[in-house]
Amino acid sequence: MQFKLIMAMVEDRLTDDVLEAARTRGATGATVITSVRGEGLRPEKTFLGLDLTSARDVVLFLVAAPRAREILEAIEVAGSFDDNPGSGIALQIEIEDAVGLKSQLAALQHEIEEEI
């Protein structure tokens, strides 16, 4: 089975919405890395020169390749990435190989058996 890694950088208040959206489209699990920091095109500063960045999370999903685009689009909608600049980004990367998925493989195969 081929996999893709979807990586989403989201405002921490949107993490649960992004997780739920991905699950409804076929993601079987996720890893959340909390309290990361990032900057956009123009870093926002307060009048005292302090950073104005909000707390962010990185959410990692290892998903079946046939479902990756659908999951990525659901994440974009849940996080309003295109509607609200600075709310987050998501991307997908092709995975050559993966181990440790034995418990999830049966669920993944059943979920996408019609597509492969």
Give the tens place of pLDDT for each residue, 27-69. 989 999 998 876 666 666 655 655 556 778 999 999 999 999 9
Q: What is the pTM of this model?
A: 0.80
What band does 108 get if pLDDT is binned at 50, 70 and 90?
A: low
pLDDT of 116 strictly over 60: no
What band does 103 get if pLDDT is binned at 50, 70 and 90?
A: confident
- According to DSSP, the residues that pair with 31 across neighbouring strands are 60
Question: Under CATH, what is the fold of the domain 3-109?
Answer: Alpha-Beta Plaits (3.30.70)
Collapsed DSSP state (helix, strand, coil) of residue 12:
helix
